[in-house]
Amino acid sequence: MRVLEVRSIPLAIALEKLVECEKKGLVLKGLAKRTVELAEVLRKCDSPRELYEELIKLGLNDLTASMIVDVAPRSQDEVKMLLNFESSSVVDEVISKIVDLVSKYCYKAS
């Protein structure tokens, strides 16, 4: 086995992938098992994959998109704190769009 790609993904997507492995009969142990337990408790979005893909389409890098999905910021100020890994500044219009997307995918019942 060899690594083909390395990129950040949200914890909720890691949970989906690990659950898929379990369904295929793989017994999760150690770090994988603890990751599932943690992700089930911390998951904030109903549709993490869709939110992640929308954030990538906005031009965010994978690390920033992952942090936004994991943290699910509710305000522009909270989003701005998560933009440290972007190579260029993100305009207020995009920050507002990020807040709207998080609200759509993470806080539907609120």
DSSP for 67-101, please give it: HHHHH---SHHHHHHT-TT-SSPPPHHHHHHHHHH
Domain extent at residue 28:
11-42
For residue 1, tell me if it sits in a domain. no
For residue 91, tell me if it sits in a domain. yes
Band (1; pLDDT cuts 50, 70, 90): low
Query: pLDDT for 44-74, tens place per residue?
Result: 888 999 999 999 999 999 999 999 999 999 9
Band (96; pLDDT cuts 50, 70, 90): very high
pTM for this predicted structure: 0.83
Query: pLDDT for 7-30, tens place per residue?
Result: 888 988 988 889 898 899 988 899
Q: CB of 62 within 8 A of CB of 9?
A: yes
Total domains, the chain: 2
Residue 31, pLDDT score: 87
Q: Examine the domain organization and report whether 19 and 64 are in the same domain.
A: no
Q: Examine the domain organization and report whether 23 and 73 are in the same domain.
A: no
Q: Examine the domain organization and report whether 63 and 77 are in the same domain.
A: yes
